[in-house]
A and B are shown apart, each in its own frame.
Chain A
Amino acid sequence: MTALELESITAAYGPYRAIDDISLAVGRGEVVALVGPNGAGKSTVARVCAGLVRPVSGRLRVGGRDLTGAAPWRIARARLASVPEGRGVFARLSVLENLELSFGRWLGPKAVREALEETFARFPILAERRHQRAGTLSGGQQRILSLAKVLADQPDVVVADELSLGLSPAAVDDLYQQLGALHDRGIALLVIEQRVDRVLKLADRAVVLDRGSVRFDGPPSQATQPLEAVLGGGSSARPAADPPSSPGA
């Protein structure tokens, strides 16, 4: 049985189609890397998994249960933890309140305190700023907070969208250690990344996405070549993005 499965998913934003007939599965305890150029539809896959974007067609299964079109809270209760791209924290709550809100969902008051202590020991930068409003943290710090919220959960599968964005090299190292630890705990991961080298080292399997479709699905060691093909391989030959059908132009 798979932890997370997308079957022939097509999703659109209004008239704009973002992903087209994508099938993708993450087995229990498996780490899958989802890579590809910007605009390929990676974030849309993450949003469909979290229930933030309802697919036009296809099926979504979490832990074997069909949750196509279900609200985000229902998917979250099926033990899927999602770290959305960008600022996935409550800007007007303090760092401490953000963590309390997350931890309180699974844990009792005493366990919340323990989890907080553990988190602050792991991320001293959060301890230092625990009473600061999360909105005033830098971009990288907000990513750390997003990750910290998920780490104390006990999900079956984590979908993480561009977690390393804006992180310093040391923080990226730490992040991948944490992801490795999640992997060791038997938690399945779908990791969307721009930093291809790091994620391919961690992953059991790699999926390359381009222009809304899957171009490759297989072992990470063989992903480099198809990835170079869609990224333009460093040559300047990559075609410019098509001009959108600009209204009234």
Chain B
Amino acid sequence: MSTFLSYALPGIPFGCTYAIVAMGLVLTYRTTGVFNFGFGAQAFVSAYLYTVLTENGVPVGLACVLSVLVLAPVLGGVLDRFLFRRIAPTNTTAKVVSAVAVSVALPELVNLVFGSATRFAPPTLFLDPGRVYLHVGATPVNGLELETVLVSAGVVVVLSALLGASRLGLTIRAAVESPRLLELEGIRADRVLLAAWMGSSVMAGLAGVLLAPQYPTLQSNDYAVLLVAALAAAALGNLADIPLALVGGIVLGVVEGLAAGYFSPTSVWHTGLLPAIPFLLLALLLVGRRKMRALEENEDPLAGCDPPPPPSITLTRSHELDRVIKVGGRILAVAAVLSVLTWVPGDWGFALTAGLVYSIIFLSITLITGLGGEVSLCQATFAGVGAFAAAQLAVHQGLPILLGAVVGAVVAAGVGAIGALPALRLRGLPLALLTLALALLADNAVFPYSWAGGPPVGLVVPRPVIGSLNLATTSTKGFFVLVLVVLVLCAAGVKLVQRSTVGLYLEALRASPVGAESLGINPSVAKVLVFALSAGLAGLGGALYASLQQTVTPADFNYELSLVFVVVVVTTGVRTIEGAIQAGIGFTVLQQLLSYLPGRWGSGGIAIVLFAFGALTYAAHPEGVVEYEKRVWTERAERLLRRDQPPHDGLVIATSTVGALEHPGADDG
């Protein structure tokens, strides 16, 4: 029994760190309707300021006030004003993607502004970290641990009081569901939401400052890891119950403490299971709990007040312009290909080839998010499955890499299909969280094994040999042509699926699942199919990526990459094939251009920041930046072409068409 306690008790303060983040997540979700993947990043920003201030001799109290009560709410207010307020309350995809964008952009932004010099742990808030204040049984409790437990207890009391009984809680819940409907009651919904963002951001700041002293150095990654671990604790409270999130955090900490204690450090359980516990728990909760499924069942009662989304500009632009653009586009593409094969320098050739490979991976997002309507946060994991399968087969079985890539794609498709099975009843946010859990499971419990992700130093992956043509020896040009051919085939395949009957079913399911099912469309088959196809494409792209790099390590396809992928593609345009290709090429070209900049500005981080800023426009233009810009420029060109003719469709369209706007949105929940 005493052994049990000695393993379990240290888990409690550790669990409380999870709990503080989990309670913050629940608070943000309940008060703003956004599941804030950026919570860890916000905590990191406050912790950073706190650390810098205390390093420079600012007293702890003042530093704490500045970073928790000043910086954090200002940051929250900025996020609300410029990002989240522009998103319709029912647009789950936009909310998930924007929050993910915040989570990847904020730490990179801090690095850009302050540089990446190592910052050491700042002082604790009020208790001495080294001193043992009391003993529970035989287990000593130091100041750091006691502080964490005390603050957790305080937070749960304050939040429960604030949200539980009062009219404030009711108003906030109403504002989250439909700000406009609340305004009809004479209440300023924008103020309510601003206050909610500022309040929950204070919580993020507090978490950041409180947890910073626990790590020897200050790193954004620690906060990201904490965030994903806290997901499980938050899920235990159905993402809605703050005291349950506290319990969830503590349970998680204790289970980890027990597992660490009882499993021998050399056993497979210790290396494989232990780091995966939070994600396994998260996956089980998402799949098993009925309440989680209902999380996103929400529709805006006043959706009829919004203008309908404009049709794709490629469908409405004039015939002449359409022809000019198509011919011009082809000439440009041929010129680009010829340039790469002739005068373009090697590093640019490599970057463009990588861009094409990324485009193949990004097409998988066009399928799953654009056509299937679901956000997947494990596309890099699928790419990794393909890459590792191809690499292992090439290295150990001597299989030609191209054949290996095909096998890798099939394996990834299989993993995708199996991964879809537990997700059959999930949509929206819970599904996105489940894919994140799968990605983290793979990162922690599958890829680190040498039979899967290879040894830590990496696997050497060959370039393809086609007949007597060795693509490794002919620089990247031969490989460029190969990848181009594969990309064209993949794009054609995606187009075929988009235009097929299954594509029609998927569009129907995305628009109205209830309506689609009432016609005889099987939603389960559709979901498995789209996951398998998407994973297969990502796997193929991953294998080609490994072959391009000629080496692959277990950490090459981690979950953060999945987050970046989604942000990049959704920003550019998730509904069209052009969107994916422009995202792929834009992503690498931007990084290549930035490499000319000096110092820290030359790192890849700024590319991520730029795309994340692109996500700001995404909130206002969900069709994607490319599609939006296309519309703007097409309209300009058409005005120019028709300067002396009356506009062919100006403001007024037959009034009868407006009838559609006279009744609430035609989608049923």
B661 and A16 form a contact (CB under 8 A): yes
A17 and B305 form a contact (CB under 8 A): no
B655 and A212 form a contact (CB under 8 A): yes
CA distance A82 to B72 in the complex (A): 37
B308 and A93 form a contact (CB under 8 A): no
B115 within 8 A of A: no
A220 to chain B, nearest CB (A): 23
Residues of chain B within 8 A (CB-CB) of A39 are 655-656, 658-659, 662
B301 and A84 form a contact (CB under 8 A): yes
Known: A14-B308, A14-B310. A211 touches B655 (CB 8 A): yes
B95 within 8 A of A: no
In this complex, what residue of B is CB-closest to A47?
B305
Known: A18-B655, A77-B186. A41 touches B662 (CB 8 A): yes
A44 and B649 form a contact (CB under 8 A): no
Residues of chain A within 8 A (CB-CB) of B307 are 12-16
Query: Interface size class for chain B?
Result: 35 or more
Residues of chain B within 8 A (CB-CB) of A92 are 173, 177, 298
In this complex, what residue of B is CB-closest to A77?
B186
B664 and A101 form a contact (CB under 8 A): no
> Secondary structure at chain B's binding surface: helix, strand, loop or mixed?
loop
A85 to chain B, nearest CB (A): 7
Contact with B along A65-95 (1 / 0, CB 8 A): 0000001110011000010111111111100
Residues of chain A within 8 A (CB-CB) of B177 are 90-93
B185 to chain A, nearest CB (A): 6
Known: A92-B177, A101-B171, A245-B649. A52 touches B661 (CB 8 A): no
A97 within 8 A of B: yes
B667 within 8 A of A: no
A32 to chain B, nearest CB (A): 19
Number of A-B pairs, beta carbon distance below 8 Å: 152
Tell me which residues from 638 to 669 in chain B have a Cβ below 8 Å from any Cβ of chain A. 649-659, 661-664, 669
A76 and B661 form a contact (CB under 8 A): no
B183 and A72 form a contact (CB under 8 A): yes
A43 within 8 A of B: yes
Tell me which residues from 173 to 209 in chain B have a Cβ below 8 Å from any Cβ of chain A. 173-174, 177-178, 180-181, 183-189
A51 within 8 A of B: yes
B238 to chain A, nearest CB (A): 13
B311 within 8 A of A: yes
Contact with B along A8-41 (1 / 0, CB 8 A): 0000111111101000000000000000001111
Residues of chain B within 8 A (CB-CB) of A12 are 307, 651
A38 and B305 form a contact (CB under 8 A): no
Question: A-contacting residues of B (Cβ < 8 Å)?
Answer: 167, 170-171, 173-174, 177-178, 180-181, 183-189, 297-299, 301-302, 304-308, 310-311, 315-316, 649-659, 661-664, 669
Q: A15-B653, A18-B655 are in contact. List 14 more A-B contacts (CB 8 A).
A: A15-B651, A16-B658, A16-B661, A17-B658, A47-B305, A71-B188, A73-B183, A84-B301, A84-B302, A91-B299, A92-B298, A97-B173, A242-B657, A245-B649
